[in-house]
Structure 1
Amino acid sequence: MRESDLPAALALSQQVNWPHRLEDWQQALTLGAGIVAEEAGRVAGTALGWRWGDAYATLGLVIVDPACQGRGIGKQLLLAVLEALPGYTVRLHATVAGLPLYQKLGFEVTGIIQQHQCAALGEITPVPLTDYQFLSAARPQDGALLTALDQRAHGQSRPALIAALLTEAERTLILKDQHGLPQGFAALRRFGRGWAIGPVIAHDLQQAKVLVSALLQPLAGKFVRLDSDPSLGLSAWLESQGLPVVDVPTVMVKGTPWMPAAGTPQAFGLMSQALG
């Protein structure tokens, strides 16, 4: 996949009613590498992979033109991306339609993700900080600290992604303790039809609520999206704040799933379903 393929990739995502903007495709390609399937000189399918360090990767933006489906194009795209990720544990978020193919290629179900969104967010009351917490805006020089915190949550080393957030996101907030040490962070950025919050990295649910509510508070009336693992408890709170579940993709992994140690931070919100 090259930069010149992105307008055609955007058109494919629009055909299947995915919300991605051209800017979202550009960011995805900048951070990873993609494959396109071509037929008669036009793009008929896409798939991208992202290496996050030496052991973990994600796979996504797998799309086949509806007029070309049923001919094995999706399988060939996936095999091409996986061939470029030898030895990696690869994670993806599967649609109902794509799940059987992923299973045939050795991916196993490990859970679900709930996609929360609303077209016009209501008024949000920030969750209060405890006596030993404070929020600060992230700065470019915080990149190494946030990369380390992010990696402890899911094993993925994503310095390029974190650097992009610190320069391109509307706001990236860090939650610190009384000693000024970072306990979690979350980013607000433009994505799809409006605004997206993610990643959300925190040690516990209270911390995640503080971060997310602070980012939601100025977004009344806006389109907002956040993707979260319901087992961590944030999903129920998001629904109570007017962000219902609109989709439930399946989390699948090929390889050994990441098992965070006790007391480490967790990923309460994804960067995106493709990037993890």
Structure 2
Amino acid sequence: MNESYALESMNAGDGAHLLALAQSVGWSFSAKQPDLYVHTGPVVGHRDGGKWISCAGYYAYGQELASIGHLIVDPAYQGKGLGKRLMLHWLEEAEKTGSAVTLVSTKPGLPLYTSLGFQTVGYVHRFQYVVPAENPKQEQPPGDGDLVPLNEAGLLEAIELDRAATGVRRERVLHSVDRHKVSGWAVRDSSGAIQGYGFARAKDDILVVGPLVTADADAAVRLLKVLMAGWRGRIQLDVPGAQATFQDRLRGLDFRETSVSPQMLLGASSLPGRRELLFALADPAFG
């Protein structure tokens, strides 16, 4: 294993370098996406002189679960063991608290993760839809009745609902997504309590919807429609494989499945929480 490159921490000023790394492997990151990652959890990598040649982020949720995301090695430096060094670094961090570790795997990364003991516990299905240039449905008023914009007070309720769905506290993730959002909406019951919520953020011309947490597929579709109202361009969701009914509803709305990625886990047999409430991920990096 090559030891010639020291492991270093990325900071808020390294966003352009993280973006360049993503572009080097053909990933479609927006200019603001690195900021989302760097401000949500620690990101480390290797440098060759002044050039960043690898990176990976670590997103810890208490002592129960952590997610490793956007592990990238510049193609010119692949085959030197840098990806494995990044993984071992973060797995050692997880061992300190006894946390299970999850990640959403790319096809090239699967052999490495399998060799480190990760097991596939599910799949994440990416769906995309291109809004037609003329789409009267998108011009309808975005919400009424029990659908309300997600404000600061509602975000605190959404964090608790997210905890029920994922089994862990993800305040930092939700606050980061909230700062980057185009819109956020909630479903309230007759007493005013939040029963579901969703965020949408822009990734250049793509509207990324997630997280999307609610009681059933009907409510998830209603939230999706209000979140995508008025958008012109592509719309994207990363949907857990267990949400088969919601996936069928998406196909009925002319969404197209563009990829399927394994969700992997090390240190536990299953993901915590009531995962039937989770209809779309915030981002694969966050698990």
TM-score of the pair, normalised by structure 2 = 0.86
Give secondary structure in 1 for the equivalent of 2:286. Answer: coil
In the alignment, the residues of structure 1 paired with residue 188 and residue 52 of structure 2 have an alpha-carbon distance, to the nearest angstrom, of 47
In the alignment, is residue 237 of structure 1 matched against residue 249 of structure 2?
yes
Deviation at 1:163, TM superposition (A): 2.5
| Paired position in structure 1 for 2:271 | 258
Q: Deviations over 1:111-149 (max 9, x none)?
A: 1101112344574859xxxxxx71111111223211110
Q: Percent identity?
A: 26
Q: 1:199 to 1:44 in 2, by over 3 A?
A: same
In the alignment, the residues of structure 1 paired with residue 31 and residue 149 of structure 2 have an alpha-carbon distance, to the nearest angstrom, of 27
Deviation at 1:62, TM superposition (A): 0.5
In the alignment, is residue 181 of structure 1 matched against residue 190 of structure 2?
no
In the alignment, the residues of structure 2 paired with residue 246 and residue 184 of structure 1 have an alpha-carbon distance, to the nearest angstrom, of 26
Kept in 1, the 8 Å contact 2:102–2:265? The answer is yes
| Paired position in structure 1 for 2:4 | none
In the alignment, the residues of structure 1 paired with residue 267 and residue 155 of structure 2 have an alpha-carbon distance, to the nearest angstrom, of 28
In the alignment, the residues of structure 2 paired with residue 88 and residue 124 of structure 1 have an alpha-carbon distance, to the nearest angstrom, of 48
In the alignment, the residues of structure 2 paired with residue 92 and residue 121 of structure 1 have an alpha-carbon distance, to the nearest angstrom, of 34
In the alignment, the residues of structure 2 paired with residue 217 and residue 68 of structure 1 have an alpha-carbon distance, to the nearest angstrom, of 43
* Unpaired stretches in structure 2, ≥5 consecutive residues: 1-9, 139-144
TM-score of the pair, normalised by structure 1 = 0.90
Match of 1:118 among 120, 124, 129: 129
Deviation at 1:45, TM superposition (A): 0.7
Give secondary structure in 1 for the equivalent of 2:84. Answer: helix
Q: Which amino acid counterpart does residue 11 of structure 2 have in structure 1?
A: R
Q: How many residues align?
A: 267
| Paired position in structure 1 for 2:230 | 218
In the alignment, the residues of structure 1 paired with residue 193 and residue 103 of structure 2 have an alpha-carbon distance, to the nearest angstrom, of 32
Q: Deviations over 1:27-50 (max 9, x none)?
A: 111110011112244211111110
In the alignment, is residue 144 of structure 1 matched against residue 156 of structure 2?
yes
- Alignment map for 1:3-152 (pairs within 5 Å): 3-86=12-95, 87-120=98-131, 123=135, 134-152=146-164
Q: Which amino acid counterpart does residue 212 of structure 1 have in structure 2?
A: L
Q: 1:124 to 1:150 in 2, by over 3 A?
A: farther
Deviation at 1:260, TM superposition (A): 3.4
In the alignment, the residues of structure 2 paired with residue 214 and residue 270 of structure 1 have an alpha-carbon distance, to the nearest angstrom, of 17
In the alignment, the residues of structure 1 paired with residue 221 and residue 130 of structure 2 have an alpha-carbon distance, to the nearest angstrom, of 21
In the alignment, the residues of structure 1 paired with residue 63 and residue 196 of structure 2 have an alpha-carbon distance, to the nearest angstrom, of 24
* Unpaired stretches in structure 1, ≥5 consecutive residues: 127-132
